[in-house]
Amino acid sequence: MIKKITIFIILVISAIALNTVRSPRKETKNPLFSEERVLLGTFVKVISPSDKAAEIAFREIERIEGLLSKYKPESEVYRLNKTGKIKASPETFFIIKRAKEFYALSNGAFDITLGPLVDLWGFTEKNYRVPHKKDLNKALNLVGSDKIILREEDNVIQFLLPGMKIDLGAIAKGYAVDCAIEKLKKAGIKDCLINAGGQVYCLGKNYSKPWRVSIRNPGGGKKNNILELRDKAVSTSGIYEQNFIKESTVYGHIINPKTGMPVENSLLSVTIVTGNSLDADALSTAIFILGGKTKALTAAFKDTQAIIIKKIR
């Protein structure tokens, strides 16, 4: 349950971004190894006092990408989208089950079945366009996570309607980061920061200090919001990075599954700080769609903070 929700309203006039901040490098005394790779369609950065951490984390994130990517023909999600029915690995089954839980908790605002809508708006192929109303209505008929059947006995996942497609863009990165953190712990690595395109997990500490994560606030001329964290996940959702502009209207990549339209509200971003990356990822997207209203989700998570950044009106 989100027991403790802290909401800061910060006004900014332009885009914000989530960034990791490193303490000034003391190369010889406290060396940090930092590596970056493109995985899950984004930049993944691993920072650790251990020179083994990056390779372990990248290998695990790559493995999860191999299951959940909608672009890779060998992935389980690709096959599900193509055939409408698969016998899944326990991991794919688990993540789709959790996604359905977020669908229920958010009253349908968080919905992984909006694949046909994401395609229609051109976000899948980065070939953006404003769809015709009749195409939107057709795609909307295929949306609804209640139309995904999960058979616990044998991990079969089945769509109720032909043409349905899932898109795990709002939850897969968080899950992949959690899996990577588990692998690091098993390998005896106690301290590491992973940033997978805005999904951050701070494992342990940066030598004797907590990891520092900054929610950048460049346009406002105000100080960045610096979080000092240990064993915590941070996720930011907003439409300031992935969007397109047509006739002076900004269309973002987060879509309202009820209307089929990109979400347009008073928010620039929602940042969630909680105990694991999967929850942080799903919650930040869901609360962004709900316009910052956390009430629908407050019953389900504990020790969770929401940092809401609003546009200047």
Binding region for ligand AMP (CB under 6 A): 110-112, 114, 118, 123, 167, 169-170, 237, 242, 253-255, 257, 281, 284-285, 289
CB of 16 to Mg ion, least distance (A): 16
Q: Does position 106 bind Mg ion by CB under 5 A?
A: no
The contact mask relative to Mg ion for 153-172 (x = CB under 5 A, - = no) is -----------------x--
Report DSSP letters for 39-85, one per residue. Answer: ETTEEEEEEESSTTHHHHHHHHHHHHHHHH-SS-TTSHHHHHHHHSE
Report whether 270 contacts 243 (CB < 8 A): no
User: What residues numbered 270-289 form the site for Mg ion, per CB under 5 A?
Assistant: 281, 285
Q: Are strands 211-216 and 17-21 parallel, antiparallel or unpaired?
A: antiparallel
Least separation, in Å, of the C-beta of 200 and Mg ion?
12
Distance CA 248, CA 75 (A): 38
For residue 188, give Cα distances in angstroms to 56, 113, 165, 175. Answer: 11, 38, 39, 20
Q: How far is the CB of 245 from ligand AMP (least distance, A)?
A: 17
Residue 206 or 256: the one with the smaller Cβ distance to ligand AMP is 256
Residue whose CB is less far from ligand AMP, 169 or 292 = 169
Task: Using the minimum distance from each CB to Mg ion, give the nearer residue, 155 or 195.
Answer: 195
State the minimum distance, in angstroms, from the CB of residue 58 to ligand AMP.
20
- The nearest distance, CB 114 to ligand AMP, in angstroms, is 5
252 binds, among ligand AMP, Mg ion, none (CB under 5 to 8 A by kind): none
**Cβ-closest residue to Mg ion?**
285
Q: What are phi and psi of 75, to 5 degrees?
A: -80, 160
User: Phi then psi for 249, rounded to 5 degrees?
Assistant: -105, 135
How far, in Å, CA of 197 to CA of 236, rounded? 9
277 binds, among ligand AMP, Mg ion, none (CB under 5 to 8 A by kind): none
Q: Which residues pair with 237 in a beta bridge?
A: 270
Distance of closest approach, residue 45 Cβ to ligand AMP, in angstroms: 16
Q: Which token pair is 201?
A: 């997990």
Interacting residue ranges for Mg ion, rule: CB under 5 A: 170, 281, 285
